[in-house]
């Protein structure tokens, strides 16, 4: 874990870590967590938010193995309840990218137990295709649950281990945002949440084996610093 602030007096600390295990550790510390999974979970999330989604949840798929506790059933339940609170429907995004809806359902049975228990209506079950996801469903005023092996598992770990809030971040352009705008919006969203909960921020590269995730997390961290988050 890389600590970018050495000021012990301030709760405005900024860290970078990786994988579900890093997400869990940062969550237990009480940070707001930003999941960075460029291909494609966090880019899908950004595109969904641009298209009008109310809130994003992430959960682990059934077959993933991580060294920390995850609870996709619980997250499926809370995502469904959040949609019911807003009197809306749930959109589920998952993998494989290519394949049938039945194949996608086969990989998300644990999360679906929670979704069904919540009583929510599922509007769509669509593939995790990054910025192109906005072409596959109407996200306006919907809650979105993204169930994937990497970003979904990291989000799940952070949520399950008690993070005050979990969000996502990307540097990839969407249908609406170009250039540096996706990264800047990701940074500003993280800062707003950290100020709301009076916490530090930890950026989680969803996979330490993904150079894209690691570089993107570092870039968003630099933008958070430029926004003045670490200034006392």
- Nearest Cα to Cα of residue 229 among 24, 1, 15, 2: 15
Arithmetic mean of pLDDT, 99-128: 95
Q: pLDDT category, 232, cuts 50, 70, 90?
A: low
How far is the C-alpha of 32 from the C-alpha of 108, rounded, in Å? Answer: 26
User: How is residue 161 annotated by DSSP?
Assistant: T
Q: Which pLDDT score, from 0 to 100, does residue 2 have?
A: 40
Q: Which pLDDT score, from 0 to 100, does residue 101 have?
A: 84
- Nearest Cα to Cα of residue 171 among 158, 156, 155, 187: 187
Q: pLDDT category, 11, cuts 50, 70, 90?
A: confident
Q: Which pLDDT score, from 0 to 100, does residue 9 have?
A: 46
For the chain, the residue count is: 232
Arithmetic mean of pLDDT, 205-230: 97
pLDDT tens sequence across 162-207: 999 999 999 999 989 999 999 999 999 999 999 999 999 999 999 9
Q: pLDDT category, 109, cuts 50, 70, 90?
A: very high
How far is the C-alpha of 8 from the C-alpha of 113, rounded, in Å? Answer: 43
- Nearest Cα to Cα of residue 169 among 122, 121, 222, 111: 222
Q: Which residue has the higher pLDDT, 1 or 61?
A: 61
Q: Which pLDDT score, from 0 to 100, does residue 1 have?
A: 34
Arithmetic mean of pLDDT, 64-69: 95
Q: Which residues, 6 or more positions from 209, have their beta carbon under 8 angstroms from its beta carbon?
A: none
Arithmetic mean of pLDDT, 32-45: 98
Arithmetic mean of pLDDT, 13-22: 98
Q: What is the pTM of this model?
A: 0.94
Give me the chain's average pLDDT, please. Answer: 94
Residue 163 sits at φ, ψ, to 5 deg, of: -60, 140
- Nearest Cα to Cα of residue 88 among 137, 133, 39: 137
Arithmetic mean of pLDDT, 19-45: 98
Q: Domain 7-226 is in which class?
A: alpha beta
Arithmetic mean of pLDDT, 79-103: 94
């Amino acid at each position: 874990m890389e600590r970018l602030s050495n000021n012990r007096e301030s709760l405005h600390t900024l860290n970078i870590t990786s994988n579900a295990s890093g997400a869990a550790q940062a969550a237990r510390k009480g940070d707001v967590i930003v999941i960075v999974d460029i291909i494609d979970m966090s880019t899908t999330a950004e595109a969904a938010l641009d298209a009008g989604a109310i809130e994003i949840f992430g959960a682990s798929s059934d077959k993933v193995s991580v060294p920390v506790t995850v609870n996709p059933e619980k997250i499926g339940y809370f995502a469904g309840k959040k949609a019911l609170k807003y009197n809306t429907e749930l959109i589920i995004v998952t993998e494989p990218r290519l394949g049938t809806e039945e194949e996608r359902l086969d990989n998300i049975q644990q999360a679906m137990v929670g979704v069904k228990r919540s009583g929510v209506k599922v509007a769509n079950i669509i593939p995790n295709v990054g910025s192109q996801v906005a072409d596959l469903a109407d996200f306006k005023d919907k809650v979105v649950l993204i169930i994937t092996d990497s970003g979904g598992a990291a989000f799940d770990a952070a949520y399950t281990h008690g993070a005050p809030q979990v969000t996502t971040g990307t540097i990839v352009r969407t249908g609406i945002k170009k250039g540096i705008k996706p990264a800047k919006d990701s940074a500003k969203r993280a800062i707003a949440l950290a100020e709301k909960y009076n916490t530090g921020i930890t950026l989680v590269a969803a996979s330490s084996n993904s150079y894209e995730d690691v570089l993107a997390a570092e870039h968003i961290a630099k933008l958070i610093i430029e926004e003045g988050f670490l200034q006392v």
